Amino acid sequence: MRQSFEQKLRELHLDLIYMGGLVEESIDKTILALQNQDIELARNVFDGDDVIDDLERVIEKKCLILIARQQPVARDLRSITAALKIITDMERIADHSSDIAEITIRMASEKYIKPLIDIPIMAGKAKEMVNKAIDAYVRQDVELAKVVCASDDDVDELFQKIILELVGLMQNNTDIIGQSVNLMFIAKYLERMGDHATNIAEWVVYNVTGEHEHLATMLHKDDKKRNPFIY
């Protein structure tokens, strides 16, 4: 019985790794679609979001079946609980990729008001956070999880930079307000991806230590309080 349970836990970990890979791919695709104003690729992100949604439901069902049939305790129960929380955050990251793809389609016929430099950099950092957070889960690495949480500073700083730059552009040219607001939302979705990656890292710490603490608050400055674009 124990051997079967451990095998199912390993399968659960593999499912999370696979889902994490799909989420990282969705970030890559949505930013590439944005940069190239590629409508077909943006639509592909939508299709991929449905796949990730379905996978979340499959993993969730597996977790609930394990809890109901195996009645795990202590570390095993924490591992399953963490998995349930992690897939929720990963699904939301994929949702934000889809949100960006939707904006990309809306702006497909517009000439960009500025070169897209910081947004792709921000996306790369968010993707790296997701990758490291999933790696921390697989390796049960608390220190790597803390690195992820501390990295959220970089994403927040880029977000602030993008917002301030766009506000300045709008003040000088009211004709670009529409696209500027769209780019602000894209930056906000990327900032939220970083937040969800931080959540994943915090659940890794919970899985290993049994304590769930908001490491982002402890490890880096509280940017959220001075954020000009919270919703």
| High-pLDDT (> 70) share of the chain, % | 91
Dihedral sign (CA 154, 225, 31, 184): negative
Q: What is the CA radius of gyration of the chain?
A: 19
Q: State mean pLDDT over 181-191.
A: 98
Task: Evaluate whether 29 touches 41 at the Cβ level (below 8 Å).
Answer: yes
- State both tokens at 57: 């439901």
Reading the block at residue 174, the tokens are: 């009211």
Burial of 20 from C-beta contacts in 10 A (0-12 / 13-18 / 19+): buried
pLDDT grade for 73, boundaries at 50, 70 and 90: confident
pLDDT tens column, 51-66? 999 999 999 999 999 9
State the Cα–Cα distance between residues 71 and 77, nearest whole angstrom.
Answer: 8
212's tokens: 């769930």
Burial state string for 143-172 with b = 16 or more CB within 10 A and e = fewer than 16: ebbbbbbbbbebbbebbbebbebbeebbee
Read off the tokens for 82.
């963490």
Specify the pLDDT at position 96.
98
pLDDT for 74 = 82
Q: What is the pTM of this model?
A: 0.90
pLDDT for res 211: 83
Sorted by where each starts, the structural domains of the chain and their CATH numbers stand as 2-226 (1.20.58.220)
Residue with the two structure tokens 């000009």 = 228
Handedness of CA 31, 180, 172, 224 (dihedral sign): negative
pLDDT for 220 beyond 60: no
- Indicate if the pLDDT at residue 2 is higher than 90: no
Query: How would residue 6 be classed by pLDDT, with cut points 50, 70 and 90?
Result: confident
Give the pLDDT band of residue 216 (cuts 50, 70, 90).
Answer: low
**What counts of helices (H) and strands (E) characterise the chain?**
7, 0
Alpha-carbon distance 45 to 29, whole Å? 7
| Spatial CA neighbour of 60 closest among 33, 38, 40, 89 | 89
225 vs 24: CA distance, rounded Å: 28
User: What does the pLDDT read at residue 218?
Assistant: 57
Least confident of 27-31, 67-71, 122-126, 195-199: 67-71
